[in-house]
Structure 1
Amino acid sequence: MARGDRHRIRRLAAVLAALLTMGGKAVAQEALAEEPVALEQGGEQTPTVARAFKPFPTSSVLGAPRLQRPDTPPPTAEAPPPPFQLRLGVAAEEKATDNAHAASGGGKSDLITTITPSVGARYKTRALDLDLAYELGFDRYAVNRDLDGVRHNGLGVLDAALIERVLFLASRFSVTEQAINPTGPATADGQTTPGNRTRVATFSVTPRFEQRFGSWMVGQLSYRHDEVRYDMSGDSRTSADAAAALNGLGLGGVNDSRTDSAKVELRSGEAFSRLLWDYSAQASRQSQGGQILKQDTHDVGVEYRLDDAVGLLGEIGHDSIRGDRIDSAALSGVFYSVGLHWTPSPDTDLRVGVGRRNGDQTLYVLGEHKFSPMTVLRVSSKAGITTDAMAAIEALSAVQRDPNGVYVDPFSGRSANPGASLFTRSNAVYRQIVHSAVLSHANARDTLSAILSLAKQTIVGGLTPSRSGLPATGQGTISTTLSLGLEWTRQISPLTALTLNASKDDVIASNAPGGKSQRYRAGVSLNYQMNPQLNAYASYRFVDWRPEIGTRARENMLMVGIKKRF
C-alpha cells in the first residue's frame, strides 16, 4: 500500500473517531428514529441527506400512496404560489342521535349542532417551510347540555435550513381528541365520549448537524426534545363500566411525558454500491409520572447487494434499557437480525428477516407491491420496546404531505392522526408487535382502501397507581387487538360522490378482567360539490359496542352539513 494511501486512511479513521466522540455515551432506539428533512429548492425535492440506511427501516420510507387517475390531465405550467398563503374555512352540521350518552341498553335521543371554524397558513421559501392547520369544533346539545363541549384538531410542521447543507431545524406539533380506551364507548360519528376522552398534545423540536466526507460517508449529529401532554378533564364523568376496566388494569390515569435524546449517525456514501452500511448511536431519557426510563443503543446495519434484484440484510447491536419496575436484564443485551431484500422490479420492494431483540424472537417484514399505477399493496411487521408517548412522537415525525397538501400517515395514506393509540392509554412501558396490511385502489370513478392490523402488547413495567388510588396491577398484562377498516368512494357524477365505510375494532385476547371488547362501525355519506369552495353532505352513521362484561351500546345518527372555504 502506498504511503499516501496509508496517510489518507489514518486521516479518515481520525475523523470517524472524532465524530463518534461527539456522540458521547451512544445509543439508539428505533421507536424514536427520525426522518431527515428534505427541503425543496428550486421547485424540486432536494434531499439534504438520505435516511440513514437501516436493513429494516420504518414504514415511512415507502411513502404515502401517490395514485394518478388515468383521466387526470397532466399539470400545466403555472406561476409559483406566493410565499405566504392563508386558508380559512367553516363547517356547520346538524346531527340527530338515538343514544346521546352511548349508554348500554339504549339511551336518550337528542339533536346536536356543531360549528367548526378552521384556519391554515403556510410560509414557504427556499430554506424555510412552515405549515399550520387548526380547527375547533363546538358541540351544542338540545337536551343533554352536560355533553356540550369543544374539540381541538391541529397540526404544525416546520422545516428550516439554518445553514445550507450543514445545520437544520425540524419541529412538529399536534393536538387531537383521543379515546382513553380505543375499543371503549364512542359516538357513531367517530367522536370520543366524555367518559372515554383525553386531549393529546405532542411537540417535538430537533436541531441537526450534517457533515459529508466526500463520497465515502455522511455523518449526522442531532438532539431532540419531545413532549406529550394529556388533558383528561372529562375523566370525572367516566362511566362505571369504563372506570372498572381501567382500574382493573391499574391504568386509571396517564401523566405528561418529556423525552430528551441525542443521536449520532454514520452511513455509507455514494462510493458504496454493493455494500451499504449504517452505524447509529442514541441515548434517550423519558420522564413520565415521576418515573424515569433510559435507553441506550448501538446499532450497525448492512446490506450486501448480490445483484440488482437481491440483497442480503444483517443487523447487530446492543440495548441498555433501565427504568422503574423494569427487568433490565431481560430487556437489555445484544440483538441481531438477518434477512433478504428483494426488488425484482420497480413495482416491488420487499424486506423480510428474523432476529432476536429484548429477550424475544422477532419477525421483520416491510414490503410494497404496485399491481398497477392505481393499485398498491403494503405490508409491515415490526416490534420493539416503547411507550404511549414515544409511539405518538414517532407517528408525528413520520407524517407526510400528499400531492393535495393534506398531511397523511405514510403507510396507510389516510389522514394523519399521530395521537391515536392501539391500546388503553397508560404510563406503562411495553413490548409491542404490530402486523399491518394496506390495499389502496383508485381509478377514474372509484377509490377503495382496506386496512388490516393485528397488534400484541405486553406490559413490562413503568406503571404508576391509578387515579382511584388502587395499586398498579397492569404489569404483565398481555392484550391482542384486531382492526379492520374498509372504505369505498364512487364518483357518481363530476359533482356528486357516494362513500361507504365499515370497520371492526376487537380486543381478541386479554389476560386482564374485562379486557376484551368489540366495536363495529358502518356509515354511508353523499357529498355534493356546489362550487369549488362550497360543498354539502348527508350521512348515516352506526356504532355497536360490546364489552366483555355483557353490556351492549348502540347508536344511530343522521347528519347533514355544509363546508365553506374562503
Structure 2
Amino acid sequence: MSSRPSVFGLRSLKASVFSFGLLGSAVVSTSTAVAADWIFTPFVGIREAYTDNVLSTATNTESDFITTLNAGFTLDGIGNRLNILTSYDGAYDIYANTSDLNGFRHNLLGSANAELVQDHFFIDGQIAYTPEDLSTTGASSAIDRTLSNSQTQVLNYSISPYYLQRFGGTAVGIARYRFSQLRFDETDVGGAVDNPGNETTNEVNLILESGRNFSRTSWSLEAFGVDTVVEDGDDLKRGTFVASGQYSINRNVALLGITGYDEFDGENIDNDDISGAFIGAGVRLTPGPRTDLSLGYGYRYGGGIWNMDFSYIVSSAAILTASYVVDVGTGGQAYTNRDVLDEDGELVNTNFSNSDFVGTTTKYETFDVGIRGTRGLNGYSAGATYEKRDFLTANTNDETVSFFGFYSRELSPKLGLSVDGSWSKIIEPETPGEAETTIRAGAALNYRFGDNFTGSLAYNYYDRNADIAADNIKENVISVSLNKSF
C-alpha cells in the first residue's frame, strides 16, 4: 500500500502528493519560492503502426494500420524552495479501417514540492492521469492505443500541506494533512465501461521522532486518521497510533521494535478481526556500507506478519532492492499511496497494475525485488513482484506473480537498441477458473537524426492465455515513429 513502508507496515514519513492548481496558486504568493530554473520542452510526434488484431479478439482477428499524432511537453522547475517535474503527452489515434476506434488518449504525470515558510511550512503534491485497463479481461494491446472496450481514463491526484518543527536536537515534529482522490472517467471511444466508484480520502498525520541528539537509539511516535468515501462502494475509516524504536548494539547490528493500536470502521467487513493492539520486533543488519537489511516479525491485522526491507549497492552504477510489506486499505488507496517518482527521481505511472482493480477493503501482502544499473554503454533493470490480496468484504482472495526485464545498449553515437519483456500470472484467481498468464515483449532501434529529432523502429508482442477461451488475445505490432522536441 505505502510506496516506501517501514517495519511492520509503519508508513513512510515522506508523502508525495500534488494538485497543480492549488499548489500553483500557493507558490505564486511566495516570491522566493518561485525563484527556480524552468526548463520547458514541447514536442510533437507521429507513429505509424500495423496490428494483426485490432479488435483484441480471441478468434476472427482483423488487421489494421494506425496513425498516431501526438504532442506534449515536459516541465522541470528546480530551485531552493520549489521543485516541479511534470510531463504531458496527448495522442490521437486514426485507424485506416476501424474508424470507430479513432480517439484521444491523455497521459499526464507530475510531482511537486514547495517550501512556503522557510524550514517550517511545506506542500507536496502529485498527479497521474492515464488510460488504463482496470480488468485483466476485455480488450488489451501490445502498444498504447485506443481500445474497443475495457479502457478507462484514470485521474489519481493528491495534495498535502505539512508543518515541520525542530525541538533543538531532541526531536522533530510533523503535522500533515493529505487530500487524495481517485476518479474513473469514460474514454471518448470504445464500449461503455462499468467503472468503479470514485474515491476521496482525507488524512491527518501527527509525527514526533528523535532528533540528532540520539545516536545509538532512535524512536518515533505517530498518530494518523484516514477517512475514505467510496461512491457506490464500501467506505473506510481508520485510526492508528504507532510507537517504534531502534537500538544500535554496534555499527553492524541494531534491534527494532514496534507497538501500537489500529481501529478500523469499514462497511461490510469484520472490523474487530483487523483492529486492536499490535506488536513486533526485528533486527537491522548493516555488515558493510553497501548492505542494509531490516527484518521483523509481529502480530497485526488479526494475525502474524513478516516485514522486510533490503538494499545492496552492487557497484557505483547498480543497486539491488527488495521489500515485503503487509497493509490494509481500500482498492483506491493501493493506487493513491504510490509515489509518482521512482528511486531515481523519474516519473512513473502509478495507475498501472498487473491485477484487476477491486474497489473493496483489502489486506495486501506484497513482495518486490529488483535490480537496476548501467555498465558502460549498457543499461538494464529486472525484477519480480508477488502480491496476495484478501478481499475482506467478500472473504475471497487472489494471488499474482510477475517478472519484468529491460536492456538498452548504445550501438553508436546515434543508434541505440532496447529490449523489454514481462510475464505475469494470476496463480490464485478470486473466481475459480479465471486464472490467466500474460506475456509482453518488445524491441526497438532508436536513431538520432539531429539535435532533438529522433526516430524509432519497433516490434511489440502481446499474449494473454486465459482459462476462459474467449479472453485469449494475441497481437503483433510493428511501428515506425518520429519525434521532434523544441
| Cα deviation, residue 365, structure 1 | 1.1
**Letter aligned with residue 423 of structure 1:** S
Residue 389 of structure 1, CA deviation: 1.8
Which of 324, 328, 331 does residue 385 from structure 1 map onto?
328
Correspondent of 2:70 among 102, 106, 116: 116
Q: Does 1:532 align with 2:451?
A: yes
Q: Is the 8 A contact 1:183 1:505 kept in 2?
A: no
Alignment partner, residue 210 of structure 2: 268
- Amino acid corresponding to residue 555 of structure 1 in structure 2: E
Do the aligned partners of residues 428 and 322 (structure 1) sit closer, same or farther apart at CA in structure 2, a change above 3 Å counting? same
Alpha-carbon deviations, 1:369-411, whole Å to 9, x = none? 1222233211111111122321222113x625847xx42xxxx
Q: Distance in 2 between matches of 1:197 and 1:172?
A: 23
- Larger helix fraction of residues: 1
State the alpha-carbon separation in 1 of the partners of residues 141 and 76 from structure 2: 33
Q: Is the 8 A contact 2:106 2:130 kept in 1?
A: yes
Code of the aligned partner of 2:391: I
Match of residue 338, structure 1, among 264, 271, 281 = 281
Alignment partner of 1:176: what SS?
Answer: strand
Rg comparison, structure with higher value: 1
- Which of the numbers 166, 170, 176 marks the counterpart of 1:222? 176
Correspondence list, 1:505-520, <5 A:
505-520=424-439
2:132 pairs, out of 178, 194, 210, with 178
- Equivalent position of 1:355 in the other structure: 298
What residue identity is the alignment partner of 1:535?
A: T
Q: 2:200 — aligned with what?
A: 258
The residue identity in structure 2 corresponding to 1:532 is: D
Say whether 1:522 aligns with 2:454: no
- The alignment's TM-score, normalised by the length of structure 1, stands at 0.78
Q: Percent identity?
A: 25
Q: CA RMSD in A?
A: 2.4
Q: Distance in 2 between matches of 1:32 and 1:371?
A: 26
Gaps of 5+ in 2: 15-34
The residue that corresponds to 1:419 in the other structure is 351
> Could you tell me which of 152, 175, 179 is aligned with 1:198?
152
Distance 1:100 1:33, change over 3 A: closer
Relative contact order: is structure 1 or structure 2 higher (C-alpha 8 Å, sep ≥ 6)? 1
Q: Matched residues in 2 for 1:307 and 1:476: separation?
A: 45
Partner of 1:391, secondary structure, is helix
Deviation of the 1:256 alpha carbon: 0.7
Given candidates 37, 45, 58, the residue that maps to 1:91 is 45
Aligned to 1:453: 385
**Separation in 1 of the partners of 2:359 and 2:395?**
14
| Deviation, structure 1 residue 520 | 1.0
Pick from 489, 498, 503 the counterpart of residue 417 of structure 2: 498
> Could you tell me which residue of structure 2 aligns to residue 278 of structure 1?
220
Tell me if structure 1 keeps the 8 A contact 2:102–2:146: no
Contact 1:428 1:459 in 2 (8 A): yes
CA distance in 1, matches of 2:377, 2:137: 33
Counterpart residue number, 1:410:
none
Which residue of structure 1 lines up, in the alignment, with residue 230 of structure 2? 288
Separation of aligned partners in 2, 1:206 and 1:170: 5
In structure 2, distance between residues paired with 1:361 and 1:395: 25
Distance 2:271 2:334 in 1: 21
The alpha-carbon distance between structure 1 residues 86 and 236, as it changes in their structure 2 partners (threshold 3 A), is closer
Structure with the largest fraction of strand: 2
SS of equivalent to 1:545: strand
Structure 1, gaps ≥5 residues long: 1-30, 36-52, 62-80, 244-251, 408-415, 462-474
Does residue 562 of the first structure (1) align with residue 477 of the second (2)?
Answer: no
Number of residue pairs aligned between Structure 1 and Structure 2: 465
Cα distance in 2, alignment partners of residues 361 and 538 from structure 1: 51
Distance in 2 of aligned mates of 1:320 and 1:147: 48
Aligned equivalent of 2:341: 399
Equivalent residue number for residue 468 of structure 1: none
Q: Which residue of 1 aligns with 2:20?
A: none
* C-alpha distance in structure 2 between counterparts of 1:167 and 1:183, whole Å: 46
- Residue 369 of structure 2, aligned match among 398, 423, 437: 437
Call closer, same or farther: CA 1:59–1:446 in 2, change over 3 Å. farther
- Normalised to the residue count of structure 2, the TM-score between the two structures is 0.90
Any idea what the Cα deviations from partners look like across 1:113-161, whole Å, max 9, x if unmatched? 0111012333443322233321101111000111112111112223111
Is the contact made by 1:169 and 1:208 (CA closer than 8 Å) also made in structure 2?
yes
Q: For the Cα contact (< 8 Å) 1:184–1:547, is it kept in 2?
A: no
TM-aligned CA deviation for residue 343 of structure 1 = 0.9
| Partners of 1:182 and 1:421 within 8 A in 2 | no
| Post-superposition CA distance 1:440-495 (Å, at most 9, x none) | 2311122221111111111002xxxxxxxxxxxxx122111111111111221121
Match of 1:101 in 2: 55
Deviation at 1:191, TM superposition (A): 4.8
For the Cα contact (< 8 Å) 1:56–1:366, is it kept in 2? no
For residue 296 of structure 1, give the secondary structure of its aligned residue in structure 2: strand
Instruction: Quickly say closer, same or farther: Cα 1:323–1:223, change in 2 above 3 A.
Output: same
Query: More deviation in 372-381 or 304-313?
Result: 372-381
User: What code does the residue aligned with 2:480 have?
Assistant: V
Describe the shift of the 1:514–1:147 C-alpha distance in structure 2 as closer, same or farther (beyond 3 A): farther
| Greater mean deviation of Cα atoms: 547-556 or 260-269 | 547-556
Q: 1:488-532 deviations in whole A, cap 9, x for unaligned?
A: 112211211111222111101124144311111122111111223
Amino acid at match of 2:385: S
CA distance in 2, matches of 1:447, 1:84: 28
